[in-house]
Structure 1
Amino acid sequence: MVRVNACLRRWSRLRRLRRLVWPDTLFGRLVLVLAAGLFAGQLLTSTIWFDTHDNRTLEIPARLFASRLADTVRLLQRAPDEATRDVILDELSDARYTLRWIAGVPSVPPPPPSSGTPPSLTLRATSELISGVIQKRLGEPIDVRLIDAQLRDDAGHHRGILSLFDSRMPTGDFHAFLNVPGQGWLEVHSNEGQAGMHSERGALVLDYLLRIYLLRFAAVCAIAFVAVRFALAPLRQLTRAAQALGRNIHRAPLPESGPLEVRGAAQSFNAMQQQLIDHLTERSRFLAAVSHDLRSPLTRLRLRAEMLPDPAWRERLRGDLDDMEAMVRATLDVVQGVEITEARQKIDLDSMLEGLVEDAREAGHIASVTGSTRAPVKGFARNLKRCLQNLVNNAIRYGGEARISVHDDGAQVHVCVSDNGPGIADAALRERVFEPYFRIAIHHGEENDEEKSGGTGLGLTIARSIATAHGGTLTLRNREEAGRIAGLDAELILPRDD
């Protein structure tokens, strides 16, 4: 068991980590993909910048090396004899610049010719640069065969591009063969500095990261947020339309505009909405026709029942006919009660509740309302009135009176209809009373779902359906005083869609 719990905890941590790395929303995923893709592209292209800067760092030492070679050739050409040339080589050579005569022609092929495109300062380009500087200084071409040219960091190590990150003054190491006209070949090793070029440790990389990566990444994220939000606007509109369709099937169709895929989705959604409207209209028409067709035989049966000689049979048949007629009316009530056939509008809920209370009082019942709303609520007036009427009727039927209290917190409107009845102690029964045709009979504080008393068992079903159509909820709870049930509260919560 301990091992299972540890695995579950590990799995939970992995899932949380996955949500951090890979967002749940399509908006977050698209932004992440765009930003990561562009950032990866920047990383790849930055290698070009570093390679170019590495070669640029090598350019100044290469020019210094070429100038020293040109001076060496000039001095050697002016020497009168071989002994003087040897003395000149000894004087020119030091720890950073060594010269040595070699016999014959070195067996190193010359660098390939340039292809005509702008060369980067690789070995071939560096060789061309050195040859060009020497020719410009001497006025004639000199055969120079560059064997190696690379950067050396402050510690004297050959680290290539890495020397840019931690060297204040990287230097260039060169190995070449130089042909002195009429005298022979020299093997040259040289280490040349930056000649005043000073790179702070890490400053170059920091500047690059701040100016290129950070600014570009911020710009890419900002553009991605705006672009993805704009691209997903039709999807959000489709989501809102689907949510609104459950509350009002007669809502305005989606505009069929935008890209081809968006237009196609809007057309399919509008077609589905129209099919649902046609289906509901046909259902209402069918039920109305059935109701109309049943009324005629029911009327004939009622007339024939009155002609029965036996009073007992006549009374029993009357009861059956009343039940049949009540069932027909109840079926139509359900359809008409939950079907939305009006436009959504602002409703003065205070006036509606005052009207319901006045109607109850005129019928001889006890009813009152306290509290008020801050502003009108949006909804379907006829259906909402029916919902509240059913709640008031239930409170009067089972509790003897209806006390309505209203509370508006700005985000939701709470309407509580209370009675002084025995309530419903069983929580399961409090939920079952919302089922169609389910009724409970209450006798001296005891619930009995087998006994039916009044109504058709559809009032609360219709009321909750209407509450759901408004995006709200309807719940029942017992009200307790001094440790006993003092009544039942039916609370309707309506959200504000401002």
Structure 2
Amino acid sequence: MKLRLWPDALFGRLALILVIGMFGGQLLTSTIWFETHDHRTLEIPSRIFASRLADTLRLMQDAPDDAARRELAAQLGDDHYTLRWIDGPGVAKAPSVAQRTVENLLGDVLARRLHRQAPLHLMDAELIDDSGRHRGIFSLFDSRMPSGDFHVQVQTPGGAWLDVTGQEGQAGRQSEPRALVIEYLLRIYAIRFVAALLFALVAVRIAVQPLRRLAVAAEALGKNVYRPSLELSGPREVRVAAQSFNAMQQQLIRSIEERTRLLASISHDLRSPLTRLRLRTEMLSDAASRERLSADLDEMDAMVHTTLDFVQGVEITEPRHQIDIDSMLGGLCDDLAETGAKVALEGHAGAPVSGYPRNLKRCLQNLLDNAIRHGGSASVRVQDERESVSIIISDEGPGIEGKDMLERVFEPYFRAQPGKTHGSGLGLTIAKSIAMAHGGTLVLRNRPARGLDAVLSLPRG
């Protein structure tokens, strides 16, 4: 089975777009979290370095002359704290947010310790990992005690400038890199991702609900054009679409009613000329011609009546009701038995089925008439299922050869054995149209030995 990365449904697409957008935004803003931890990790080394630098400046302040200050600078330096005299301050690169914070922190500590402002330029301040490499915020994830590496230029009390570099640690404070990563991934990503996903699912579900109702209404319209109009609710675009949908439904209803009236008028208007033609045919002296013309007139009259009958048979003009299938089948079978037909009924439906009583009765009547016409008898079996009811009407006729024929017999005016059976070829067409109007199916299948099964499945909903 091929994995679909792009969902097929609008619900899934909108939810995926929202989640990716929120997650992408989180990735872009995750630097805020890194910078916060970077500031926090640099804070202790910055305070220690600032205190050491303040002590250096205070000692130089007490020195009698420049020579003593230079000698003192040489004595105070070590491997992690170097002091070098320069002619004047250099040009520092544009500081980052973290470096600006460190520079302000150094200035505040110097001001409190020296009781005055000391001119200071921060050239660089960065975290280094346990092995002494400059890795910035990445040292937070693999070092237990990341240190601060500082480079400043400060003016001494005598007016000369010192270039000072130093490395200071965390004063014994250790961190757990693995715990930091877990905390970041869990708190920043996992929790927010789950929250964003839930929010997206709920929000998109609310947003597409009107569209889902519109899709359900469109599907129901194909089964019953007389269904209730769609409620005008939801966003403006959906309300406009629903209003257009209702207008289309009304136009379809008017078109069907006009077609029905037209066919009824044609049927009525054709009766007079057909009657006149029939009278004139009877006056013909040639018996052979008279017989042929009479047959043609009978066929024309039958076509007019069956076409009107087809239109009226598939038209849904009544509301849905809960139908007692057992009572309906029992009544139909009793009526056929009174005419001398052989009909057997077995099984029962455990609960009523929602449908249109007049049309469903017409559907079952056509299927029973077909079975008796082609097989001489009919056997009806009802199978009750949880979501639907299946009605199987069997006959003992010759069946239908070929899978294509089993589908073609549902076409209007098509007969599998023309000339051998009576009827207009519309019975199965009407039956299948009614089954579809109920949201069900009607299929034909040949029985293993002899005969044909017509399986009508009706959903309970």
Q: Give the TM-score taking structure 2 as reference length.
A: 0.93
* Distance in 1 (alpha carbons) for counterparts of 2:101 and 2:440: 76
* Distance in 2 (alpha carbons) for counterparts of 1:331 and 1:83: 122
| Cα distance change, pair 78–432 in 1 and its aligned pair in 2 (3 A) | closer
* Distance in 1 (alpha carbons) for counterparts of 2:288 and 2:153: 134
Q: 1:106 aligns with which of 88, 97, 103?
A: 88
| Cα distance change, pair 177–293 in 1 and its aligned pair in 2 (3 A) | closer
Question: Counterpart in 2 of 1:61?
Answer: 45
Q: Which amino acid in 2 is paired with 1:29?
A: R
| Cα-to-partner distance string for 1:121-156 (whole Å, 9 max, x where unaligned) | 32x443332222112112122233332222111110
* Distance in 1 (alpha carbons) for counterparts of 2:92 and 2:381: 100
5+ residue gaps, structure 2 = none
Question: Counterpart in 2 of 1:239?
Answer: 215
Q: 2:454 aligns with which of 473, 483, 490?
A: 490
Shift of 1:493: 1.6
Q: 2:175 aligns with which of 187, 196, 199?
A: 199
1:472 aligns to 2:440 (yes or no): yes
1:373-392 aligned at under 5 Å gives the runs 373-392=349-368
Q: 1:329 aligns with which of 305, 321, 326?
A: 305
1:454 aligns to 2:422 (yes or no): yes
Question: Counterpart in 2 of 1:8?
Answer: none
Shift of 1:452: 4.1
Aligned Cα RMSD in Å? 2.4
* Distance in 2 (alpha carbons) for counterparts of 1:32 and 1:473: 36
1:59-208 aligned at under 5 Å gives the runs 59-79=43-63, 88-89=72-73, 91-100=75-84, 102=85, 105-109=87-91, 120-122=97-99, 124-182=100-158, 184-208=160-184
| Cα distance change, pair 72–455 in 1 and its aligned pair in 2 (3 A) | same
Q: 1:418 aligns with which of 394, 403, 426?
A: 394
| Cα distance change, pair 74–248 in 1 and its aligned pair in 2 (3 A) | same
Q: Which moved more, 1:277-286 or 1:414-423?
A: 414-423
Q: 1:254 aligns with which of 206, 219, 230?
A: 230
| Cα distance change, pair 318–272 in 1 and its aligned pair in 2 (3 A) | same
| Cα-to-partner distance string for 1:192-232 (whole Å, 9 max, x where unaligned) | 11124322113223212211211111111111101101110
Shift of 1:91: 4.6
| Cα distance change, pair 39–111 in 1 and its aligned pair in 2 (3 A) | closer
Question: Counterpart in 2 of 1:400?
Answer: 376
* Distance in 2 (alpha carbons) for counterparts of 1:426 and 1:79: 115
Identity of aligned residues (%): 59
| Cα distance change, pair 110–416 in 1 and its aligned pair in 2 (3 A) | closer
User: 8 Å contact 1:110–1:145 — kept in the other structure?
Assistant: yes
Q: Which amino acid in 1 is paired with 2:374?
A: Y
Shift of 1:92: 2.9
User: 8 Å contact 2:151–2:166 — kept in the other structure?
Assistant: yes
SS in 2 for 1:403: strand
1:25-40 aligned at under 5 Å gives the runs 25-40=9-24
Q: Which amino acid in 1 is paired with 2:199?
A: I
User: 8 Å contact 2:323–2:352 — kept in the other structure?
Assistant: yes
* Distance in 1 (alpha carbons) for counterparts of 2:408 and 2:50: 98
Q: Which amino acid in 2 is paired with 1:97?
A: Y
* Distance in 2 (alpha carbons) for counterparts of 1:329 and 1:131: 104
Q: Which amino acid in 2 is paired with 1:493?
A: S
* Distance in 1 (alpha carbons) for counterparts of 2:93 and 2:56: 22
* Distance in 1 (alpha carbons) for counterparts of 2:422 and 2:98: 99
Shift of 1:377: 0.9
* Distance in 1 (alpha carbons) for counterparts of 2:123 and 2:357: 92
Question: Counterpart in 2 of 1:273?
Answer: 249
Q: Which amino acid in 2 is paired with 1:475?
A: V
* Number of residue pairs matched by the alignment: 461
* Distance in 2 (alpha carbons) for counterparts of 1:294 and 1:331: 13
Q: Which amino acid in 2 is paired with 1:344?
A: R
1:52 aligns to 2:20 (yes or no): no
* Distance in 1 (alpha carbons) for counterparts of 2:6 and 2:358: 47
| Cα distance change, pair 321–145 in 1 and its aligned pair in 2 (3 A) | closer
* Distance in 1 (alpha carbons) for counterparts of 2:108 and 2:330: 101
* Distance in 2 (alpha carbons) for counterparts of 1:107 and 1:480: 104
| Cα distance change, pair 348–64 in 1 and its aligned pair in 2 (3 A) | same
| Cα-to-partner distance string for 1:257-299 (whole Å, 9 max, x where unaligned) | 2221111101100010001000000000011011111112223
Q: Which amino acid in 2 is paired with 1:353?
A: L
Q: Give the TM-score taking structure 1 as reference length.
A: 0.86
* Distance in 2 (alpha carbons) for counterparts of 1:189 and 1:437: 101
User: 8 Å contact 1:59–1:121 — kept in the other structure?
Assistant: no
Q: 2:192 aligns with which of 208, 216, 223?
A: 216
* Distance in 2 (alpha carbons) for counterparts of 1:75 and 1:430: 108
* Distance in 1 (alpha carbons) for counterparts of 2:67 and 2:89: 27
